[in-house]
Structure 1
Amino acid sequence: MVELNNISYSIKGKHLTNGVSANFEKGMIHLILGPNGAGKSTLIKLISGEHHPNAGSIKIEEQNLQDIPLKTHAKFRAVLSQNLALSFPLSVKEVVMMGRYPHFEGKATTLDDEICVKAMQLFDIHEMQNRNYLSLSGGEKQRVQFARVFAQIWQAVPGKSRLLLLDEPLTFLDIYYQYDLMKKIRDFMVVNADLTIIGVVHDLNIAAKYADTILLMDDAKLVKHGANQEVLTKENIYTVFKVEVENRFEVV
């Protein structure tokens, strides 16, 4: 379980998150929704350990996040951030192998190679494994990055639950791949019950279809957290997004 206890994070007196408390159970997909500037990405960066809260605490399985060594943390926690920029002409397979770096020293093992192959097959990029990553389209790069983070948390870690953090993971993807990737995430979780997934998305329909719980944010604060049918009400959506919706969350 990931536990957020009244966490706040500010820069130069401006709150980016303000008094957020929430629990994220393992074996579930937890999606964060809210308008631009609501604090969604900042929350992901706090849970990943990239930022440290000015107040409050973050615990992973009852252990303070700041007490977990980064090298240990990287073995069971993977992050797909918004910034996918790479400056070097690495092959697709080399980028995916980056997800295995926390698990070996010096040289990748046969097991690392096998996991990378399985991850590339899962996201339908195996045939492009020798292509230059920089030559790919935005959507292709996104699928490679999915394979990278899944390679990182592919196997269970003794004594630890795995954590996957996704910050706007559907950027650059067309509608088919958005739903295809969310289905792959759901199917992977079915057979990996120790995995907790926390992600930021913008599409209300995708959140309604795939989330087990939704955390709704606005102005750096938590508005509502719970099962999707409890959170995605017409009233809550209008309060946060200022739009009227019909059934199936279609904006009118």
Structure 2
Amino acid sequence: MITAENITYSIGSHRILANICATFNPGRVTAILGPNGAGKSTFLKCLTGALKPDEGSVTVDGRDLHQYSLTELSRRRAVLSQANPISFPFTAHEIVVMGRNPYSLEKTTASNAEIADEALALVDAWHLRDRAFPTLSGGEQQRVQFARVISQIWEQEGASLFLDEPTSALDLKHQHQLLELVQILSTEKNLTVVIVMHDLNLAYYSTDHCYFIKDGGIQGGEDSKDLIKADIISEIFDLPKEYAAMRFGGQFAD
């Protein structure tokens, strides 16, 4: 379980997050939703340890995040960021093998390569294994990077997976495949999955719980299908109620 308690984070005089509290449970996929610039990615970085909040704390299984060593963290959580610029001509397979770095001293090269191949196959990218990463399309790169983070926690039960806009460059088929795989992994490996998303349709159908962030505050934490509805969307995204009802009123009805 991951718990955020009173997270506050500012850049200069601008407060990005203000006293945010949230809980993320194993075996569940939780979406973080909200307008552009609301602080979603900043909050995700606080959860992963990439940023240290000005106030508050993040605990993982009851232990403060910053008490873990980098080696421990590299085996307990994997992070897919929005931007993963790589200009060197590594192959897709080599990129995925990088996810196995935390195990390089105890696992054989052959074993790590085999896991990388299995991860590529899971994300429908095995056929790209020998292609130079910079030559791939944006969606292909995203799938390869997703394979990398999967390989990082391949044998870890109860680990955490943090994804920042993982479907932004994917076509409809691969959006469905990726989110279906996330659900399967969260259940089979008891993963705690946190996803920053913009697409409310995907969040509604593909996540268990969700939070909304707006103006540095947070609300939600309940079932996605109970929260992603027209009245809440109108409030969070500053939409006219009539438009939200017309656009989303019946869209999420089962």
TM-score range, shorter chain: over 0.9
Change (3 A) 1:23 1:107: closer
**Length, aligned pairs only:** 246
Cα deviation 1:23-73 (Å, max 9, x = unaligned): 111000001000001110001101111100100110000000011111110
- Is this contact kept in 2: 1:37–1:220, CA < 8 A? no
- Is this contact kept in 1: 2:33–2:197, CA < 8 A? yes
Q: In structure 1, what is the equivalent of residue 181 of structure 2?
A: 184
Change (3 A) 1:206 1:45: same
- Is this contact kept in 1: 2:29–2:192, CA < 8 A? yes
Q: In structure 2, what is the equivalent of residue 238 of structure 1?
A: 234
Which of 209, 213, 217 aligns to 1:221? It is: 217
1:248 aligns to 2:251 (yes or no) = yes
Cα deviation 1:143-201 (Å, max 9, x = unaligned): 000100000011126xxx300000111111112211121111112223212x1100101
Paired AA for residue 251 in structure 2: R
- Is this contact kept in 1: 2:229–2:249, CA < 8 A? no
Alignment of structure 1 residues 120-135 onto 2, 5 Å: 120-135=120-135
Paired AA for residue 171 in structure 1: S
Q: Which moved more, 1:97-106 or 1:205-214?
A: 97-106
Q: Distance in 2 between matches of 1:35 and 1:198?
A: 17
Paired AA for residue 8 in structure 1: T
Which of 200, 203, 211 aligns to 2:199? It is: 203
Moved over 6 A (4+): none
Q: Distance in 2 between matches of 1:182 and 1:65?
A: 27
Q: Distance in 1 between matches of 2:164 and 2:156?
A: 22
Paired AA for residue 215 in structure 2: D
Q: Normalising by structure 1, report the TM-score.
A: 0.93
Q: Distance in 2 between matches of 1:90 and 1:175?
A: 27
Which of 168, 176, 199 aligns to 1:171? It is: 168
Unaligned segments of structure 2, at least 5 residues:
none
Unaligned segments of structure 1, at least 5 residues:
none
Paired AA for residue 217 in structure 1: I
SS of 1:247 mapped into structure 2: coil
- Is this contact kept in 2: 1:204–1:249, CA < 8 A? no
Paired AA for residue 240 in structure 1: I
Q: In structure 1, what is the equivalent of residue 16 of structure 2?
A: 16
- Is this contact kept in 2: 1:10–1:54, CA < 8 A? yes
Paired AA for residue 199 in structure 2: D
Q: Distance in 2 between matches of 1:53 and 1:5?
A: 10
SS of 1:15 mapped into structure 2: strand
Paired AA for residue 23 in structure 1: T
Paired AA for residue 156 in structure 1: Q
Alignment of structure 1 residues 1-252 onto 2, 5 Å: 1-105=1-105, 108-156=108-156, 161-193=158-190, 195-243=191-239, 244=244, 245-249=248-252
Shift in Å, 1:249: 4.7
Q: Normalising by structure 2, report the TM-score.
A: 0.93
After superposition, the CA RMSD in angstroms is 1.6
Q: Distance in 2 between matches of 1:92 and 1:222?
A: 37
- Is this contact kept in 2: 1:29–1:213, CA < 8 A? yes
Paired AA for residue 180 in structure 2: K
